[in-house]
Structure 1
């Protein structure tokens, strides 16, 4: 996870140091985004045992709207599922997280009109579940995210996207039939690749 956080910081630094020519403008334009990737979650605990979590597949999509030449608003929903196990390797079921994210992007001007690097952040509503023998429930929570990415305009309307996003949220209770049995950490880092389609 430390490597991906470092990659996120590097992406933001490169974006901030870009040139001054105007990149492709999305002001007043509405688009849809579809994306897939992977998610590196934080570790959790159950019955006083540390749970190690695997990387999970992530998929989703959303809407983006250009507010000004450099600012855009974005709403998206993603879903990820990943396994959990004890340090000994014993399987402990699967966690899943549905993330409803609302945020803004600052889109940097670049010398290349087809390239549009951006940095952003926002609020995340995290709805989690834990599928394990005997059953368990996980409380929903609210977190925040920071992201850095790059759009490449194949045409005015069709765009390729790559992004690294870090999500930070407080640990929440894991409730088993006998009561609270542990804590789930929904924080993590996602790396995604996707396509944007602008309508106008």
Structure 2
């Protein structure tokens, strides 16, 4: 992680000194994205007990394609893990969420700038695992929700882009069962990530 941050800062510094790369339309271009960050999950409940959730780490990647100068389609797959506990602090197990996200974004092209802000939204399919402190795996239904996101791309070159994004997922609670006891998991949450995009053409 420290190595990735160091490389990112070096790239930004070199780009700032060179001043040659300007933001460009990605119309007709295919790119790949990798990202890392933090995830703030919603609280859930198990066996009539409120579960407080910890901040988790999130990572993943996907593909992006420019449809027009301002509109792009994106598919992302991310994975996050976070712990949970009772209000008293007693450990209540760990959650894992894989989010398959299908979305679009509107990109604001700024003249003579390396920065391209964007805003978007889309559909999320949430695959959830819950492991109790005993090691027992719970059965958790698959969740379906929507997301809104906003961020900015910084064009180091016309192919290499640094990215920062905030994404909020809103989804209804899903049922879960473990050790013969029921619960409800809330898949909603907010993620903040930094990443790198690379466009092939």
TM bin (shorter chain): 0.7 to 0.9
Q: Where do residues 60-71 of structure 1 align in structure 2 (5 Å cutoff)?
A: 60-71=60-71
Structure 2 distance, partners of 1:116, 1:173, is 40
Structure 2 distance, partners of 1:135, 1:104, is 35
Structure 2 distance, partners of 1:59, 1:82, is 13
Matching residue of 1:171:
173
Q: Where do residues 46-57 of structure 1 align in structure 2 (5 Å cutoff)?
A: 46-57=46-57
Contact 1:82 1:96 in 2 (8 A): yes
- Provide the secondary structure at the position in 1 that maps to 2:27: coil
Matching residue of 1:160:
162
Alignment equivalent of 1:143, drawn from 145, 151, 159? 145
1:70-99 Cα distance to aligned partner (Å, 9 max, x none)? 000000100000000000000111001000
Matching residue of 1:196:
197
Contact 1:24 1:113 in 2 (8 A): no
Q: Where do residues 95-106 of structure 1 align in structure 2 (5 Å cutoff)?
A: 95-106=95-106
Contact 1:23 1:109 in 2 (8 A): yes
Contact 2:63 2:74 in 1 (8 A): yes
Give structure 2 stretches of 5+ with no counterpart. Answer: 1-21
Contact 1:24 1:115 in 2 (8 A): no
Structure 2 distance, partners of 1:56, 1:178, is 27
> Number of residues paired by the alignment?
178
Contact 2:145 2:169 in 1 (8 A): yes
Structure 2 distance, partners of 1:42, 1:182, is 14
**TM-score (ref. length: structure 2):** 0.86
1:155-189 Cα distance to aligned partner (Å, 9 max, x none)? 0000000000000000001112425x110001000
1:23-46 Cα distance to aligned partner (Å, 9 max, x none)? 411000000000000100000001
Contact 2:159 2:200 in 1 (8 A): yes
Moved over 2 A (4+): none
CA RMSD in angstroms comes to 1.2
Give 1:119 deviation, angstroms: 0.1
